[in-house]
Amino acid sequence: MLPPNTSSHPQKDDIASTKAPLVISRDQHNISRSHMSPQALKVLYGLKDAGFEAFLVGGCVRDLLLGMTPKDFDVATNASPEQVHQLFRKSRLIGRRFKLVHVGFGREVIEVATFRAPPEAVEDIDHQGRIVKDNVFGTLEQDAWRRDFTVNALYYNIRDFSIVDYTGGMADLQAGKIRLIGDVETRFREDPVRMLRALRFVAKLGLTLDDETERYIVPLAKLLADIPPARLFDEMLKLYLTGKASVTHQLLTQYGIVEYLLPETSEILEAAPDSTAARVITQALVNTDKRIEEGKPVTPAFLFAALLWPTVEQKWAEYQNKKIPPIPALQRAAMDAISQQVQRVSVPKRFTLVARDIWQLQIKLTQRHGKRAWRTLAQPKFRAGYDFLLLRAEAGEPYQDLADWWTSFQEVKESEQQAMVAALAPEKKRPKRRRRRPSARKAKPSPEPKTS
């Protein structure tokens, strides 16, 4: 339950002002320490007891106010990274552009950041407006104003359990708005990935973009073309593997962003939005969300196998039209699709190799005569390939009978498996080629013996 909307939102001209923040006391908000990570509390109290300021900040405060369980907890402090590192035995310094401290508690890691200030020099911004240097320590107020969205600039103070709000984040959260801090065009140019984050929050939190933030996404989406492919891969995992993949994909398509993440797939789907290839992606995202909701594991390899399937399928058909046999044609199609995709989003090889196995199994699953069914069943990635076949059948491709056959084949005894294979229509055999007999060479007459 959010507290009443007690503050209007500051305007752009108020940035870096010296206005006192809105301080929401403990009795006016719903955040309780019982809902926090015990490890995060250890870090907060450790910093406080050492004489430093310590705040929970960002998404964890936002989610707690919305009654959600945060995925992780981040801490902001006026202690330097080296001071934090000395304070906590199991910690390590990370980062080059701006040092952070990761405090480890087994599998849980609490990230601690020193308050940051805005870039001080023109040289810190490149020709497109992106921040290229960002390692200036600052105050709590400076740290708040340099954050991206107002709802992520709320600070929970461990000293008195209050919430500190410089940017109007509480009012926006109450109004259900995602709003950028500061001039929208400038902030998107500083870091175009903020457009992806904005849409991810819309999908995850059920909030809406404020008019000014929304207005700039479509015209500035092209800036994403200059983001390093490795960073876009990390962002895609956040977009598609947080339980809201289906809604997120619709938003990425609506705002013209998907073409900068999946260029070839986007082009194919734009030409045929109601194709079975489009339904494969839609069904894959629905299934992914369902697995996450049920606490089941999901793998990026299967996700990318589905997202790139329209491209692979189209190229596969093109190669077969050139009289290339199905298996080599599929191998070439897979290679082409992956090599072009990694130029935009750098999908690691450990995932692309599995995606290729999934695609190749789509042929092997159709080949069930003789010992082939058992050989396919023994493939390390059989389950993933079988699940992909089920996905294609769900999307309307004509493989439901084949999917049902494999479902039964996995469950029955070996004797019944043998009967299932025997019951298949006989495999058409190629007529044996008659071996050509070598032509008999004419015997040369032996030379007559010479007589003296």
CB atoms inside a 10 Å sphere around CB 49? 10
Cα–Cα dist 416/410, whole Å: 10
> Annotated catalytic, 143?
no
Both tokens assigned to 334: 């897979």
Burial of residue 313 (CB within 10 Å: 0-12, 13-18, 19+) is: buried
> Annotated catalytic, 172?
no
Give the amino acid at 63: D
The pair phi, psi for residue 92, each rounded to 5°, is -145, 145
Is residue 115 within 8 Å of residue 99, measured between CB atoms? no
Q: Which of 143, 148, 165, 172 is catalytic?
A: 148
Q: Which of 63, 74, 143, 289 is catalytic?
A: 74
Q: Which helix (H) or strand (E) holds 102?
A: strand 100-105
Cα–Cα dist 190/131, whole Å: 5
Cα–Cα dist 222/219, whole Å: 7
DSSP class of residue 343 equals T
At 104 the three-state DSSP class reads strand
Is residue 78 within 8 Å of residue 115, measured between CB atoms? yes
Q: Which of 72, 124, 134, 183 is catalytic?
A: 72
- Going edge to edge, which strands form the sheet with 74-77? 22-24, 163-165, 154-157, 54-57, 74-77, 108-114, 100-105, 91-94
> Annotated catalytic, 191?
no
Q: Which helix (H) or strand (E) holds 286?
A: helix 276-293
Q: What sign results for the dihedral spanned by CA atoms 414, 416, 420, 421?
A: positive
Burial of residue 269 (CB within 10 Å: 0-12, 13-18, 19+) is: buried
Cα–Cα dist 176/202, whole Å: 10
Cα–Cα dist 358/418, whole Å: 25
Catalytic center residues: 72, 74, 148
